[in-house]
Structure 1
Amino acid sequence: MDVANIRAIDIHTHAEEPCCGPRDDGYTEFQAGMAAYFKNPAGAEGMLPSVEQTAAYYRERNIAAVIFPVDAERETGFRRYSNDDVARICSENSDVLIPFASIDPWKGKVAVREAKRLVAEYGVKGFKFHPTMQGFFPNDRMAYPLYEAIQEAGAIALFHTGQTGVGSGMRGGMGMRLKFSNPMHVDDVAVDFPDLKIILAHPSFPWQEEALAVCQHKPNVYIDLSGWSPKYFPEILVKYANSLLRKKMLFGSDWPAITPDRWLADFEKAGFRDEVRPLILKDNALRLLGL
């Protein structure tokens, strides 16, 4: 990866289609609900971009992208997509793709073994957690052995925070419980694993100030700005990004739900200082990822 010449690093993109084989039962209905929430017609009309298509899209724009699946088999019943397949495709497109993985922490010792193997075999740089989809509080001690393995590997733990489009508008919210994704639960993780690099994903509505407090207080915590168009960012989030947290904010789109084209166009019109924009778009991520 030519990090000197890439325009930006998108820290938050999804591998939303299986690399091999068909979608799982029920997944099409789930994606249609996501498409309605994000006003993204692609998800409602058919298959979303493959990992290879994602690489081509980002290569055309000279943007690097962190990409991951989400393993929430226990809570959702959806068969997960293979971390190995995603990592393998990333290795074949390493000029633009940076591999993260996702392992449901409820898998216990199996999760720990897989995390260690993925780092050793593929150089996976981080792990995505979605507390609402996976049905756990981030400070549940059940997950601590997995965090310990990630910390020892020098990898990153990325946590979904705030409300989610997953299950939005569906009967019973598809069983998704928003309480799990309050970022204050991650504060305990940052205390108990002070050398674990942590990202709080998304503007954390309705807990934005909690996220800012945790990020400001704990030196190992960052915030990515994915999942929302910048034109909808709360004023206090922009204020902190321009000042106290200018070196801890990260560009993320939430591809394919939100495209980087849309996010970056709205970012240009948002109230960020000129000297802060390069930090958010690239420099902070370079430092965090060790690139």
Structure 2
Amino acid sequence: MIVDVHTHLSTREQWGPVFCEVVDQAYDGSGMDLDCTAERHQAAMSAVDRAIVFGINSKALQMCTPNDDIAAYARAHSDKIIGFMSIDPNEPGALEEIDRSAGDLDLKGIKMSPVYQNYDPRGPEARRVHRRAAELGLPILTHAALHCIPSTPMEWANPLLYDPVAREFPELKIILAHIGLPWFADAMVMARKHRNVFADISPLPIRPWWAYQALAAFHESNLLHKLLFATDWPFASVDDTINALHGINDVMAGTGMPRIPANGIEAIIHRDSLDLLGLA
């Protein structure tokens, strides 16, 4: 089984002007297609057995992908697709939207992003969302890595900010997206300390040096089992991510540095992440 826990379904318009400008600059006109339609998503996920999909809603960055759209797509492909809602903690009706999305729309988790939605993960706005997620048994997947949004603090992306969250809500399953890069050691510490904290490996192919360091840190701490396969599609493909995992040791070839074991790599690729997250 292959489960991709991090994929997007949003049109370029829904991503919003600020995010699109940042991506266009980062990829330097290389043709990153941000029109993540249902048809493209289905084709991209042909190589996996299950995939978690979501949009991002952020008043601060004018990002808006209705949770209803995600739910409709998940219903139409219920044999493969698991839909997550996106909740902006700054919205007054955030809790009502969680209840509606979990109850009426049957969405199975929450996508959050402090740096895109402009909130402190330790603040009261986020705390009420974390509490409701814990009450309803909804896992959260949160952006916990570098970003290029000028208006939001970089510190809000650090994985260590989820230590008080995990202590207050120990049963809440938290996925730290992007292995916490460049704070992969902090992500590792969080995964080691807290039973229900995991990290996803996306988008691994575009950062091979950091990816090696991150996986080496998790391996040396006997924590490869806390890493979840993910692509961050459309920013990386399934095939490219699997190939990058198989070649993770190439960056250190001939150096004598420790290798990530092949069986550990295969375990990441074929991990039943849905079972770990209580979604099986």
Task: Provide the C-alpha distance between the structure 1 equivalents of 2:271 and 2:182, rounded to a whole number of angstroms.
Answer: 28
Name which of 65, 69, 72 aligns with 2:58: 72
Identical columns (%):
26
Partner of 2:101: 118
Name which of 142, 147, 151 aligns with 2:130: 147
Partner of 1:170: none
Partner of 1:9: 3
Matched, 1:260 2:238: yes
How do 1:16-95 and structure 2 match up within 5 A?
A: 16-17=10-11, 23=13, 27=16, 30-38=19-27, 41-43=30-32, 48-59=35-46, 61-73=47-59, 75-76=60-61, 78-95=62-79
Matched, 1:134 2:120: no
Counterpart contact for 2:204–2:211, Cα < 8 Å: no
Counterpart contact for 2:215–2:224, Cα < 8 Å: no
Task: Provide the C-alpha distance between the structure 2 equivalents of 1:179 and 1:240, rounded to a whole number of angstroms.
Answer: 21
Q: Give unpaired runs (5+ residues) of structure 2.
A: 250-259
Task: Provide the C-alpha distance between the structure 2 equivalents of 1:16 and 1:39, rounded to a whole number of angstroms.
Answer: 21
How far the C-alpha of 1:35 sits from its partner, in A, is: 4.0
Counterpart contact for 1:38–1:258, Cα < 8 Å: no
Partner of 1:237: 214
Task: Provide the C-alpha distance between the structure 2 equivalents of 1:160 and 1:105, rounded to a whole number of angstroms.
Answer: 14
Counterpart contact for 2:4–2:48, Cα < 8 Å: no
Q: Give unpaired runs (5+ residues) of structure 1.
A: 1-5, 168-172
Task: Provide the C-alpha distance between the structure 2 equivalents of 1:105 and 1:29, rounded to a whole number of angstroms.
Answer: 19
Counterpart contact for 1:155–1:197, Cα < 8 Å: yes
Matched, 1:283 2:271: yes
Partner of 2:157: 181
Equivalent position SS for 2:3: strand
Task: Provide the C-alpha distance between the structure 2 equivalents of 1:209 and 1:120, rounded to a whole number of angstroms.
Answer: 37
Q: 1:57 to 1:138 in 2, by over 3 A?
A: same
Q: 1:253 to 1:88 in 2, by over 3 A?
A: same
Task: Provide the C-alpha distance between the structure 2 equivalents of 1:99 and 1:179, rounded to a whole number of angstroms.
Answer: 28
Q: 1:79 to 1:161 in 2, by over 3 A?
A: closer
Task: Provide the C-alpha distance between the structure 2 equivalents of 1:152 and 1:163, rounded to a whole number of angstroms.
Answer: 30
Matched residues, number? 267
Partner of 2:256: none
Q: 1:93 to 1:62 in 2, by over 3 A?
A: same
State the one-letter code of the partner of 1:187: D
How far the C-alpha of 1:278 sits from its partner, in A, is: 3.7
How far the C-alpha of 1:127 sits from its partner, in A, is: 0.7
Counterpart contact for 2:74–2:82, Cα < 8 Å: yes
Q: Which deviates the most, 110-119 or 223-232?
A: 223-232
Q: Deviations over 1:104-148 (max 9, x none)?
A: 00114x111111221122321211111111111111122222111
Counterpart contact for 1:38–1:257, Cα < 8 Å: no
How far the C-alpha of 1:57 sits from its partner, in A, is: 2.5
Partner of 1:209: 185
Task: Provide the C-alpha distance between the structure 1 equivalents of 2:52 and 2:154, rounded to a whole number of angstroms.
Answer: 25
TM-score, length-normalised on structure 2? Answer: 0.86
CA RMSD of aligned residues (A): 2.3
Q: 1:181 to 1:30 in 2, by over 3 A?
A: closer
How far the C-alpha of 1:192 sits from its partner, in A, is: 0.7
Q: Deviations over 1:28-65 (max 9, x none)?
A: 5642531442468343xx65230332023313x24421
How far the C-alpha of 1:246 sits from its partner, in A, is: 2.0
State the one-letter code of the partner of 1:207: W
Task: Provide the C-alpha distance between the structure 1 equivalents of 2:27 and 2:267, rounded to a whole number of angstroms.
Answer: 27
Task: Provide the C-alpha distance between the structure 1 equivalents of 2:7 and 2:124, rounded to a whole number of angstroms.
Answer: 28
Counterpart contact for 1:247–1:284, Cα < 8 Å: no
Task: Provide the C-alpha distance between the structure 2 equivalents of 1:30 and 1:185, rounded to a whole number of angstroms.
Answer: 23
Q: 1:134 to 1:85 in 2, by over 3 A?
A: same
